[in-house]
Amino acid sequence: MTTIRVKDQSATITFDTPVYIGTTGDSRGMFPDVGWNLPIAAFAPVKYDFGTLVFDHADPARRNPLSPTLFQYWWDDGKLVVHEDFNSGRYKKPLSRSPGSGFSYTAKGTGWEQDRVYYTGNGSNYICLKTRVHLLDLLRFIEGKIGDIELEARAIA
């Protein structure tokens, strides 16, 4: 069970047994250390920063492309807002999920260009152009923090 408590300009997330993987937000805020694995995590982003916190199973053997838990945060009228999951309406580019692809996003081709899928799993179910990327990089791309050229440069070989 997950509990999110927001107070003033910080938040606390309580859950089963996660480990903190990282954030897409401004690292000047207060965030857990990568690898944090206690069932409660407090954070305080820089005012008006927005991003996503990523957690996963503490036991690497239990991890898979769909096991990360995402918490999206942003500011609304000077108040911190935190939602579990990613497709909560904040972003115009929806994040898809499937067992083979993990988390993915399809960038529509323009004119003569084909669609390109950015994915975190094995991508075996795609016949179009596809690029495997790290989850945090995919989220940064969807949030508009990096462009497609930088995402391609960070691709997993």
Q: How many CB atoms lie within 10 A of CB 49?
A: 18
Q: Which two tokens stand for residue 89?
A: 């309406």
* In the block, residue with structure tokens 């309580």: 14
* In the block, residue with structure tokens 């910080």: 10
DSSP string across 119-157: ESS--TT--SEEEE--HHHHHHHHTTSS-HHHHHHT---
So where are the chain's domains?
A: 3-84, 96-153
Q: Tell me, what's the pLDDT at 15?
A: 79
Q: Tell me, what's the pLDDT at 39?
A: 83
**pLDDT tens digits, 68-124:** 988 989 999 999 999 887 776 566 567 888 888 899 998 888 878 888 889 998 866
Determine the Cα–Cα distance for residues 14 and 88; give it in Å rounded to an integer: 20
Find the helix or strand (DSSP H, E) in which 96 lies.
Answer: strand 96-98
Q: Tell me, what's the pLDDT at 152?
A: 92
- Give the mean pLDDT of 40-50: 91
